[in-house]
Structure 1
Amino acid sequence: MVFKIPLSFPEFSSTEGQYLEQAVQSGQLATNGPFITKFESKLSKRLKTHQAVALNSGTSALHLALVVLGIGKGDEVICQSFTFCASANPIVYLGATPIFVDSEKDTWNISPEILEDTILSRIALGKKPKAIICVHLFGMPAKMKEILEICQKYQIPLIEDAAEAVGSKYDGQLCGTFGKLGIFSFNGNKIITSGGGGALICQDSSLIRKSKYLSTQAREDLPYYQHLDIGYNYKMTNMAAAVGLAQLERLDEIVEKRKRINKQYKELMKSYPGISFQENSGISDSNYWLTSILVDEQITGFSNDRLRVILLKNGIETRFLWKPLHLQPVYKGVPFYGGKVSENLFSKGLCLPSSANLTFEQQEWIVELIEKEYKKVV
């Protein structure tokens, strides 16, 4: 379906086309070429403290992060339940078991209190987790101070799933740079895009070298094909890197546009009872990849699903918040620790159109349709 107003659509300048044309004319279209190196270098310079490996997806990046940490069959990895399945699926790829943890109400991300309770519970069972995956949901930073203290206390490495949080900051530090490893996504609907792509980032040069090696089928540096390890076809293409580089050069501009859109939604709906927003908490600075709201039907008189259908009928794309992974049929029976926070967020939440090129007039129209629903129930 083609939407009049999509949920999250990429914004391009002339530079993407110029770089892409250069890549095509060079004849280097696949996983070798100067734009891959340039993209990795530009991203690493932006991160300052971390090196980057350009990959074909955020999921690939997360899988490699688990591989280089030595996660394998029989291991347990703690994962936020309130997230997309790609945060947990790579755990299963390796024969390990995800242990799902509920969210907290402030940021909607993994609850530090429940996280520590989970670790203690698994240790008591003789199953100390081998890693922890936290997610910065919709660009909103998790409570990194508390999470890092817990990781250090129990000596468990942290992987930051910052797929949705490119450009977000916590206490002035870029999301993705707090854990042992971090991952980004540059999928078509993300804050910036390479069409399809991702990155793994790390301070440890040895893990970066190993990640690059494994991402190109673990090919030895020899004049013939020799492999000592099982590798993966995970490297970003030169064409994707060309688009990604142009987007990365405009990241700050795009983030500011998303923040402005979020601010305008809040201003337009400031007097709407029963609707609340995902908010920056304390020292967080979200990129507001997607502006997300909660609809309290007891107050508004209409549900998030009713609002979704009304907007859909007008050609406006929205999306429910993630259905918690512990409720997904594919993960039936997997251990879950927590209460009903993530379930309640799912039952009330809705992501609104947040493209960087969304106009104020389009936002006004969206809000007018929401206001009409209020008038119907008065």
Structure 2
Amino acid sequence: MVTRVQDRLFLSAPHMGGDELPLVQDVFATNWIAPTGPMVTRFEENLAALTGINHVAALSSGTAALHLALRLSGIKAGDEVWGSTMTFIGGVAPIMYANATPVFLDIEGEQFLLDLDLLEQELEQARTPGGLPKVVITTDLYGHVIDATRMRRLADDYGFVWISDAAEAVGAARDGVHAGKGADFAILSFNGNKIITTSGGGALASDRGDMIEQARFLSTQARDAAPHYEHTTYGYNYRLSNVCAAIGVGQLQVLEKRVEQRRRINDWYREALGDLPGFSFSPEPRGMHANRWLTTVRIAPALAGTDRERIRLGLEAENIESRPLWKPMHLQPVFAEAPRRGGAVAQEAFEQGLCLPSGSAMTHDDVMRVADLVRQLAGH
């Protein structure tokens, strides 16, 4: 079968809502072509309303937001930062910017979230002077949401700063609370493949207004109040542009619809593939409203008679993009020497897990195109 380039089905393509262009045109008409401006302020206010987190700084990326969160947490060289081994490199690299030490913990095997039982066990064992981490980062992977009530209790009991990496969970909630709410800092992302996008961008959110004001200061080169360029510390060029913020304002208007469609796509895949032996989808615990940014499926070779890689390559041969789950950080060459606690659950999830095309512009026919091919490749 020969397919054309324009027929390619992408993993998670940008999906515009229609109001983004007029908002961008307004930016051009008013000549607010700058790193800050009215659209940045509007975007920040809208994000605060969405998440229930009182203060937000719009930034150039989620990675930039994490870097600022770590700096504002007081992380210094040699400090330990604990977090899930299954995450994207952008959720870990800023630890290295600070010359701190990442410590990777295993996940639970259904939602691919940090194993909180393991975390609590390790915290208790580390309860000695200097033994506890200064920061723990949780990652709301694929739009699933960590138990914020338990995490807040652990942070308070053990005295660490909790950073919620909710980059993949915009529009997701648990027990009626948006992802990231309750953490000391929350990280959001609006990269081109996320559920909504500003083409590239992110945000740092916190209920502490002083921290967000400091984030804004640091994100604009830490320029002191003076008629000339005066600096008592160093900063970064991390602020979101007013043009990109206008796109974000438009995208937020359709976020609820995007979440609804991604959840619908997830249901279609379950209906089409859920009966295949060895195939399993992440359940949704009571109280969780995952945004289903990406639909993931686990393929157990012994039961399925096939494996993740055969399915992935078969889809690629038909111009359909799919991707393995995030490769655990403890298996990455760059972190070969990093401390870790467990890792077998994350490793098995990586070996078996596949992300299926999940873009919100997909139709039922698109999903069936993927599902029918998966069934053929699985011998059904």
Q: What's the counterpart of residue 110 of structure 2?
A: 106
Following superposition, the deviation at residue 44 of structure 1 comes to 1.3
1:245-274 CA deviation, whole Å, 9 max, x = no partner?
100111111111111111111111132111
Check the 8 A contact 1:49/1:203 in 2, yes or no: yes
Q: TM-score, normalised by structure 2?
A: 0.96
The answer on whether the counterparts of 1:106 and 1:281 sit within 8 Å (CA) in structure 2 is no
Per mean C-alpha deviation after superposition, the further-off stretch among 24-33 and 285-294 is 24-33
8 Å Cα contact 1:259/1:288 also seen in 2: yes
| CA distance in 1 between partners of 2:307 and 2:140 (Å) | 26
Please state whether the residue corresponding to 2:19 is helix, strand or coil: helix
Q: Which residue of 2 aligns with 1:161?
A: 165
Conserved 8 A contact 1:79-1:87: no
- Percent sequence identity over aligned pairs: 37
1:170 aligns with 2:177: no
Q: Which letter does structure 2 place at the counterpart of 1:284?
A: M
Query: How far has the Cα of 1:13 moved from its partner?
Result: 2.5
Structure 2 regions of 5+ residues with no counterpart? none
**Contact 1:215 / 1:233 at 8 angstroms: preserved in 2?**
yes
For these two proteins, the number of residue pairs brought into alignment is: 376
Does 1:349 pair with 2:353? yes
Q: How does 1:1-150 map to 2 (within 5 A)?
A: 4-124=8-128, 126-150=130-154
Quote the Cα distance in structure 2 between the aligned partners of 1:308 and 1:264.
19
In the alignment, structure 1 residue 298 sits paired with structure 2 residue 296: no
1:222-237 equivalences in 2 (<5 Å)? 222-237=226-241
Amino acid at match of 1:295: I
Equivalent residue, structure 1, for 2:318: 314
- For residue 334 of structure 2, what is the amino acid of its counterpart? V
CA contact under 8 A between 1:167 and 1:174: conserved in structure 2? yes
Superposed displacement of residue 88, structure 1: 1.1
SS at match of 1:14: coil
Asked if 1:282 corresponds to 2:286, the answer is yes
Greater CA drift, 218-227 or 257-266: 218-227
Which has the larger displacement, 114-123 or 261-270? 114-123
In 2: Cα distance, 1:235 partner to 1:279 partner: 37
Aligned residue number for residue 190 of structure 1? 194
1:224-283 per-position Cα deviation (integer Å, ceiling 9, x unaligned): 211111111000001110101100111111111111111111111132111101221122
Aligned residue for 1:292, secondary structure, equals strand
Query: Is 1:253 aligned to 2:261, yes or no?
Result: no
Q: What's the TM-score, normalizing by structure 1?
A: 0.96
Q: Deviations over 1:339-376 (max 9, x none)?
A: 41000100000000000010100111111111112327
Q: Which moved more, 1:22-31 or 1:92-101?
A: 22-31
Q: Which consecutive unaligned segments of at least 5 residues does structure 1 have? A: none
CA deviation map 1:11-61 (0-9, x unaligned): 113211111122223322230221111111111122334211000000000
